[in-house]
C-alpha cells in the first residue's frame, strides 16, 4: 500500500478527538482492512460497567471507514452513510479490538463490515458485527 | 408515568460513564419517549471538527433504550440487540439532541426508533435516524 | 408533481414482473410519498399461511424506491443501496399496503423509510417498518 | 444433524408458497448453514430485467432463517425479527443462490447472516449480503 495512504489514515485518526477520548489507536492498516484497539476505560461504560455500545459502535464504524479509505485516492475523504450493528454479547473485558473490511469497493459507495472483539483475561469474544455503507468524497484535486 | 420508572431511568443514566464523558443529560422522560441532550464537546469530534458518529449513535441508542425502559416493569433492564443508523448531514453545531421512541412494545422485543438533531446558531437540523430492537431483561423479582 | 414523473413511475412499476406476480398496484403517487397495495395471495405465503416477509420487503422497498424516484429528474433511475426491515407482527389478513417516504433527499443518496400495514377484516395493523438508502442513477440526458 | 431437523426444514420450506412461486429449492442443510437456489424467473424481475430485490431478500432471509432453525429444538419455530440487506451488484443471471449462516446462536435471539450470489454464464457474483436477527418460538412441547 502507498505510504501516502497509511500516513493519511494516521493523520485523520489523530484528528478524531473521539478516538483519543476512548484511548484508541490504530492497530493495523492493510489494503481494505484496518484494526483499531482501545482499552475499555472507566469513562466509556454503560450502567453495568461493560463497554458502552457507543464505544463498540465508534470503534467498529471507524475501523470500517478507514478500511474503505485505504482503497481510495489519496485526496479522497470518507463518510459513513449508514451502519447497522448487532450486539452479540456484553462487552466485558480489558481491551476492545475492531477490525473493518471492505466487502465491495466502488466509486460511489463502498460496502463495509466490521467485527468487534473484547479481550478478557486473555480470552477473545466476538461482541458485535457491523455492516454498512461508506461514501467517498472527492478531494480538491478532482 | 410511575415516579419509580423515572427515577430508575435517571439512576441508570447516571451510572453510564459514557454519558458523562459526552456531557449528556436526560432532557425529557415520557412513557415511550425519552430525549437526551449534549453539547458537542471538543473531545467528541471526528477529523473535520463535527460530532463523531459514535457520539450521534451513543445518544440515539441511549434515548431509544430508555424509551423502551420507560414501558417496562420497574425491575426490568434493557439491552440493545441491534441498531441501524442513517447519517443524513454533518453534525455541525453546538448541541445535539436525540429523541427515542417505542414503535412496537413487546414482552420479548421492543422495536424502537430515534431522531438526532443538531442545533447550530439556533437552527435545528436532523442529522441521523435510527431504527432498532431492544430486549427486556427480567429483573430479580421475576 | 409533473405528469411526466407520475407516468414514469407507472411505466417502471408495470415493467416489474415481481409486482404483478404479487398482484400489486400503485395506490398513490405524491412528491416524496408513494403507496403500493396488494392482496395477500395464496402464492406469497410463509409456512403458517401469513404473507411471506419477502412480500412485505418487496412492497416496502418498492414504495420507498418510487418515493425517491418521485423527487428525481425525469431521466433518472433509482437503485436500492441498502434496506433494513423490522417485522412487528405476523402479516395476517387480506390486503397489504406499503407507504414509502423520502426522509432526506440528495443528489447522491436519498434516505427513505416505509411503513407496511395489513388489513384484516377492516382492521389495519402495522406489520413492518423499513429504513434505507436509494441511489439516483443519472439517465442518458445527463 | 438429526434427521428430524432436516425433515422439519424441508416440510416448512415446502409449506412456503412464496418459495415455489420463486421456483426455489433447498440446496444444502447443515448445522448452522442452509443454502437455497432458484432460477431467476421471468416473473420475479425488476424494471430492467434483473432479479427483483424482493427475490434477493426472500432467498437470503429464508436461508438465514432455516440456518437458525437447524440449531433449534425440533419443536421450535423461527421468526425474522429484523434483517438488513446491502445490495452490491445488479442480480443479472440465470440462477440465484443464498447461503445463510448463524453467527451467534442463543435461546432468545439468533444473529444470522446471508450471502446471495448470482450465476451468469458460469460466473458467480456476490450480489447481496444480509445481517439480521431470528427469534425462536417455542413449540407446543415446551
pLDDT confidence of residue D141: 46
Give the chains touching A; criterion: ≥3 Cβ pairs < 8 Å. B, C, D
Query: Rounded to a whole number, what is the distance in angstroms from the first to the last CA of chain C?
Result: 21
C82: which chain A residues are within 8 Å (Cβ-Cβ)?
82, 111, 132-133
pLDDT in tens, A87-135: 999 999 999 999 999 999 999 999 999 999 999 999 999 999 999 999 9
Strand partners, A126: A117
Q: How many angstroms away from the CA of C101 is the closest CA of chain B?
A: 14
Helix (H, G, I), strand (E, B) or coil at B4: helix
Q: How many helices (H) does chain D have, and how many strands (E)?
A: 3, 6
Most C-contacting residue of D54, D82, D87, D91 (CB-CB within 10 A), to test interface:
D54
pLDDT in tens, B4-28: 999 999 999 999 999 999 999 999 9
Contact yes or no for C59/C119 (Cβ under 8 A)? no
- At D142, the pLDDT band (50, 70, 90 cuts) reads very low
| pLDDT, average across residues A27-41 | 97
pLDDT above 90: residue C15: yes
Of B82, B111, B135, nearest to D108 by CB-CB distance is B135
The DSSP symbol for B107 reads: S
Contact yes or no for A96/A55 (Cβ under 8 A)? yes
Helix (H, G, I), strand (E, B) or coil at A56: helix
Strand partners, C51: C45
A84 and D133 within 8 Å at the Cβ level: the answer is: no
Express as a percent the part of chain C with pLDDT over 70: 96
* Whole-number Å distance between alpha carbons of D112 and D58: 15
Most C-contacting residue of A64, A79, A81 (CB-CB within 10 A), to test interface:
A81
Minimum Cα–Cα distance from B51: chain A residue? A18
Strand arrangement of the beta sheet that strand A25-30 belongs to: A25-30, A33-39, A95-104, A110-120, A123-137, A77-87, B77-87, B123-137, B110-120, B95-104, B33-39, B25-30
pLDDT in tens, C127-136: 999 999 999 9
Q: How far is CA D2 from CA A96, B128, C47, in A?
A: 38, 46, 21
Q: Furthest-apart CA pair in chain D: how many Å?
A: 49
Contact yes or no for C8/C74 (Cβ under 8 A)? yes
C104: which chain B residues are within 8 Å (Cβ-Cβ)?
86, 88-89, 126
| pLDDT, average across residues D117-128 | 97
pLDDT confidence of residue C138: 83
Express as a percent the part of chain C with pLDDT over 90: 92
Minimum Cα–Cα distance from D84: chain A residue? A84
Which residue do the cell numbers 471492505 mark? A102
Contact yes or no for C66/C29 (Cβ under 8 A)? yes
Residue A11 φ/ψ, nearest 5 degrees:
-65, -45
Q: Would you give per-residue pLDDT tens digits along chain B (142 residues)?
A: 678 999 999 999 999 999 999 999 999 999 999 999 999 999 999 999 999 999 999 999 999 999 999 999 999 999 999 999 999 999 999 999 999 999 999 999 999 999 999 999 999 999 999 999 999 998 664 3
pLDDT confidence of residue B142: 39
Note the pTM of the prediction, 2 decimals. 0.96
CA dihedral C48, C51, C54, C60 (to 10 degrees): -150
The DSSP symbol for A96 reads: E
pLDDT confidence of residue A34: 98
Q: How many helices (H) does chain A have, and how many strands (E)?
A: 3, 6
As a whole number, the mean pLDDT across chain D is: 95
Residue A48 φ/ψ, nearest 5 degrees:
-105, 5
pLDDT confidence of residue A141: 45
Of C88, C103, C126, nearest to B129 by CB-CB distance is C103
C133: which chain A residues are within 8 Å (Cβ-Cβ)?
81-82, 133
B13: which chain A residues are within 8 Å (Cβ-Cβ)?
47
Domain boundaries, chain B: 3-137
A108 and C135 within 8 Å at the Cβ level: the answer is: yes
* Whole-number Å distance between alpha carbons of A49 and B16: 8
Q: Which residues of D74-99 are buried (b: 16+ CB within 10 A; e: fewer)?
A: eebbbbbbbbbbbbbeebebeebbbb
ipTM of the assembly?
0.96
The closest alpha carbon to C13, from C26, C3, C28, belongs to: C26
| pLDDT, average across residues D97-125 | 97
Q: How many angstroms away from the CA of D122 is the closest CA of chain C?
A: 25
CATH number of C3-137: 3.10.129.10
How many interchain CB pairs under 8 A, A with B? 107
pLDDT confidence of residue C141: 46
| pLDDT, average across residues D123-133 | 98
A135 and C109 within 8 Å at the Cβ level: the answer is: yes
pLDDT in tens, D37-69: 999 999 999 999 999 999 999 999 999 999 999
* Whole-number Å distance between alpha carbons of C78 and C135: 6
> Which grid cell is A129?
458485527
C86: which chain B residues are within 8 Å (Cβ-Cβ)?
103-104, 111, 131-133
* Whole-number Å distance between alpha carbons of B66 and B35: 9
pLDDT confidence of residue B141: 45
pLDDT confidence of residue C132: 98
Contact yes or no for A38/A75 (Cβ under 8 A)? no
| pLDDT, average across residues C86-109 | 97
pLDDT confidence of residue D130: 98
pLDDT confidence of residue D123: 96
> Which grid cell is B31?
412513557
Give the chains touching B; criterion: ≥3 Cβ pairs < 8 Å. A, C, D
Amino acid at each position: 500500500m502507498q505510504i501516502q495512504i497509511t500516513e493519511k489514515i494516521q493523520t485523520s485518526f489523530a484528528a478524531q478527538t473521539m478516538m483519543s477520548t476512548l484511548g484508541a489507536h490504530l492497530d493495523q492498516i492493510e489494503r481494505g482492512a484496518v484494526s483499531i484497539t482501545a482499552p475499555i476505560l472507566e469513562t466509556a461504560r454503560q450502567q453495568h460497567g461493560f463497554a458502552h455500545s457507543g464505544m463498540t459502535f465508534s470503534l467498529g464504524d471507524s475501523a470500517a471507514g478507514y478500511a474503505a479509505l485505504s482503497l481510495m485516492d489519496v485526496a479522497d475523504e470518507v463518510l459513513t452513510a449508514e451502519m447497522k450493528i448487532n450486539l452479540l454479547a456484553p462487552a466485558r473485558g480489558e481491551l476492545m479490538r475492531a477490525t473493518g473490511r471492505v466487502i465491495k469497493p466502488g466509486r460511489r459507495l463502498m460496502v463495509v463490515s466490521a467485527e468487534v472483539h473484547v479481550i478478557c483475561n486473555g480470552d477473545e469474544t466476538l461482541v458485535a458485527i457491523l455492516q454498512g455503507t461508506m461514501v467517498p468524497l472527492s478531494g480538491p484535486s478532482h
